Structure 1
Amino acid sequence: MEEINKHETLLRVRYQETDQMGVVHHSNYAVWFEAGRTAMIRDIGISYSELEQNGILLPVVDLHCRFISPARYEEEIRVLTGIQEIHGPKISFCYEVCRDDQLLVRGETIHLWTNREMKRLNLEKKEPELFQKLLQYTLSAKTEE
């Protein structure tokens, strides 16, 4: 994940997250990405529920995941979350799931900031303070001229 400020979320693999082969089922990584993303946003001072109360939604529009090595039951894993890009209504989060120093999975989710009617909004204009806080986790920030 290059040299970027990363938020770290610690999780322990639960039995229900594993498949018949004893490894974490691929569907759980999207859930872990969400756990990392929501924890990062909470740590900068606002929760998803507060965003929604303020009429700001953040739907996922794309998800990518590259599986490198499996995680297994009861292992402690780290989800490292950063922001790849934030520009206008778009924000893309990048993730690394690691066991100790071993990279297990790399992923990305792309989201759009919207209002309750699902109309795109520019977070930098609507919530400049929140936008500035998000920049601390950003690899490359693009602002509108």
Structure 2
Amino acid sequence: MDLPTIWENRVRFEETDRQGVVFYANYVTFQDETVSQFFREIGYSYADIEAAGWDIHVVNVDIDYRGQAGFGDELTHGLRVATVGESSMTSEYVARRTDDGVLLAEGTVTHVAVDADTEEPTRIPDEFRAAVAAFQDDPPEGAESGER
């Protein structure tokens, strides 16, 4: 997947395991940081989402590991929202080592929008859908209609 760069980081020592490579579960954290930055880029920080009366919960994470990064490596993380349903959205994610472009991890993350008070699924607001579609070169499936 060739996705737009959303977030970058340098691997910290504490993010590596005994073998000296990034501990696999840290890619979920990297993915989450990338999603958070994506939301900020489109003008919807988590604080903005909560202030609007809704929240977003992760319901599925899928990551395939393709390479290894070690302490001090600079990483580039890409993300795009692939589909937007009535109350859910699925994003595609990639992580690459910056200096050589080697693919380290790729996968998806699915979020569900919930009402902030009831925590029941709620429709993803049209303004959010429009912001996602405007930000991406390739708008996500269902961004305009809210199809499942």
Output the CA distance in 1 between the equivalents of 2:38 and 2:93. Answer: 12
Give the counterpart letter for 1:26 in structure 2: Y
1:7 CA displacement = 4.1
Aligned to 1:120: 121
Aligned to 1:83: 81
Is the alpha carbon distance of 1:54 and 1:105 closer, same or farther for their aligned partners in structure 2, counting shifts above 3 Å?
same
Query: Where do 5+ consecutive residues of structure 2 fail to align?
Result: none
Count residues in correspondence: 140
Output the CA distance in 2 between the equivalents of 1:65 and 1:120. Answer: 25
Contact 2:132 2:139 in 1 (8 A): no
Contact 1:81 1:94 in 2 (8 A): yes
Give the counterpart letter for 2:122 in structure 1: L
What's the % identity of the aligned pairs? 22
TM-score by length of structure 1 reads 0.89
Contact 1:7 1:80 in 2 (8 A): yes
Note the alpha carbon deviations across 1:88-111, whole angstroms, 9 max, x for none: 101011110001321110021111
Give the counterpart letter for 1:82 in structure 2: R
Is the alpha carbon distance of 1:70 and 1:15 closer, same or farther for their aligned partners in structure 2, counting shifts above 3 Å?
same
Aligned to 1:94: 92
Output the CA distance in 1 between the equivalents of 2:111 and 2:140. Answer: 16
Which of residues 34, 41, 61 is equivalent to 1:36?
Answer: 34
Is the alpha carbon distance of 1:111 and 1:78 closer, same or farther for their aligned partners in structure 2, counting shifts above 3 Å?
same
TM-score by length of structure 2 reads 0.87
Aligned to 1:9: 7
Query: Where do 5+ consecutive residues of structure 1 fail to align?
Result: none
Aligned to 2:106: 106
Give the counterpart letter for 1:41 in structure 2: F
Instruction: Note the aligned Cα RMSD (angstroms).
Output: 1.6
Output the CA distance in 1 between the equivalents of 2:78 and 2:50. Answer: 24
Give the counterpart letter for 1:16 in structure 2: E
